[in-house]
Chain A
């Protein structure tokens, strides 16, 4: 018990001692998770909206595929992009393997199905009379979409937060596409993996606490936003 207790105590000192290395790692994590969630949202929200309000042949097939992709193993995404971004691969010349951009790219693909699926669910939960109303008001298609999104904004926001939660806690892609380079691509999760393998439990635990803290903050923000609605 003293072993765990000591590690916990050292972790606390690291977190509240504002160790620069710890905070750089946190910053890198926020950067790659934030940018990938943003890009995935910019693509995924309109895509989910269109899928939710239109009917066409083959739609069920797309939905099944999207649901399957929710279970996409992160190492598979990592492996696929490693093949693409390696110097031997088709996009090798861009030189983004082992950079934060490389990680952000993989994480975007990971986040996309989550955003799309949850946006579809969010819009389906809206009052069906809304769709008819916006049509009868004579709004253009773009205006209709905007109004529907506006009506479901809190659920759409929740979808984005869930996607953020998935990418910030992810380790496979960050390791394979980032390479865990100290002071450059080391993220919270790859640092935890490394510190554990080195036997440095305190630093691993400290980062774990920060990771939880970030998740708590994001969810608290969402809660306050939702509360502000009523």
Chain B
């Protein structure tokens, strides 16, 4: 019994030391699932981490929740894509210094057979009207993410209140929605970056793209240090300068999946 006790005490000391060993500086960033799932952050972060001897902690959730984490002061910087929500975030005093980072676009994807005939649609709104006929399931993110915001925008423009058995509110990330759309042989709205990253794993094709309404800009915002005193504003600004500066923009431009460029840098001074 004493042996158990000694072993237990040694384990306790060891675990305490191990838990305390994370004393390095951490910059916390909440971001959308697309930046992480596409693999962009895996190449964008290391040069910054190395140069500044800092670890960037990435919490990858939908844009809605990412902004919420910024509002609560649980992160130092947010990197998201939903312009109206971002502007509200800044206007309400939660964030400062919003900067454009890059853009790509949304695409509507679906089965090759295209049962709802989206390929003949002239505009994105027209495509959504065809979806509402309910010939095949449409998988919605339904999680207040940037993609979900865009989807709601498009339904509004089409003057449709989506409901019915064809409208599947999944409540999961972009990748999971694409998997679901593939398994149900249905449609989904996706950012092009995530779709390209998933293309080899699922048998879906782009059925509608190119409309101006499908433009998808990404922005980065520092959490307001006046609102949250502990927010690491200086480090956050350093990171923002890096991402919007020549080095970060160059990495974004050079990032490819399957030979295709996923994001287009558009930071301005």
Contact = CB atoms under 8 A, between A and B. Distances in A.
Taking residues whose C-beta sits less than 8 angstroms from the other chain, chain A's interface range is: 20 to 34
Given A87-B230, A182-B58, A198-B37, A150 B175 contact: no
Contacts of B198: 199
Name the residue in A95, A99, A197 with the highest tally of chain B Cβ atoms < 10 Å from its Cβ. A197
Given A38-B11, A197-B176, A100 B59 contact: no
Nearest to B55: A184
A153 B4 contact: yes
Interface string B162-178: 00000000001101101
A92 to B, nearest CB: 7
A92 B75 CA distance: 12
A179 interface: yes
30 contacts: A31-B19, A35-B16, A35-B19, A38-B11, A86-B72, A86-B74, A87-B73, A87-B74, A87-B228, A93-B230, A95-B230, A98-B57, A99-B22, A100-B19, A100-B22, A101-B19, A150-B1, A153-B1, A153-B4, A180-B59, A181-B57, A181-B59, A184-B22, A184-B55, A185-B57, A197-B37, A197-B173, A197-B175, A197-B179, A199-B202
A100 B16 CA distance: 11
A71 to B, nearest CB: 24
Contacts of A38: 8, 11-12, 15
Interface of B: 1, 4, 8, 11-12, 15-16, 18-19, 22, 26, 28, 37, 55, 57-60, 72-74, 172-173, 175-176, 178-179, 198, 201-202, 228, 230
Given A86-B72, A87-B228, A184-B57, A31 B12 contact: no
Given A35-B16, A197-B175, 9 more contacts: A87-B72, A149-B1, A153-B1, A157-B4, A184-B26, A184-B57, A197-B179, A199-B175, A199-B202
A98 B28 contact: yes
A34 interface: yes
Contact of B175 (A35, A181, A198): A198
Interface in A97-117: 97-101, 104
Contacts of A35: 12, 15-16, 19
Nearest to B201: A199
A92 B231 CA distance: 12
Contact of B179 (A92, A93, A199): A199
Contact of B58 (A88, A181, A199): A181
A104 B19 contact: yes
Contacts of B28: 98
B11 A34 contact: yes
A53 B213 CA distance: 71
A31 B55 contact: no
A98 B230 CA distance: 15
Nearest to A198: B175
Given A179-B57, A197-B172, A197-B175, A34 B37 contact: no
B176 to A, nearest CB: 4
A184 B198 CA distance: 26
A22 to B, nearest CB: 16
A84 B84 CA distance: 30
Nearest to A146: B1
Contacts of B58: 181-182
A180 B60 CA distance: 8
A184 B11 CA distance: 21
A183 interface: yes
Contacts of A196: 176
Contacts of B11: 34, 38
Name the residue in A98, A99, A153, A180 with the highest tally of chain B Cβ atoms < 10 Å from its Cβ. A98
A85 B214 CA distance: 38
A114 to B, nearest CB: 18
Interface string A136-172: 0000000000000110010001000000000000000
Nearest to A151: B1
Given A35-B19, A181-B58, A98 B74 contact: yes
A24 to B, nearest CB: 12
Contacts of B26: 184
Nearest to B29: A181
Nearest to A182: B58
Interface in A120-145: none
Nearest to B231: A87
Nearest to A27: B18
A179 B31 CA distance: 12
Contacts of B55: 183-184
Nearest to B37: A198
A89 to B, nearest CB: 9
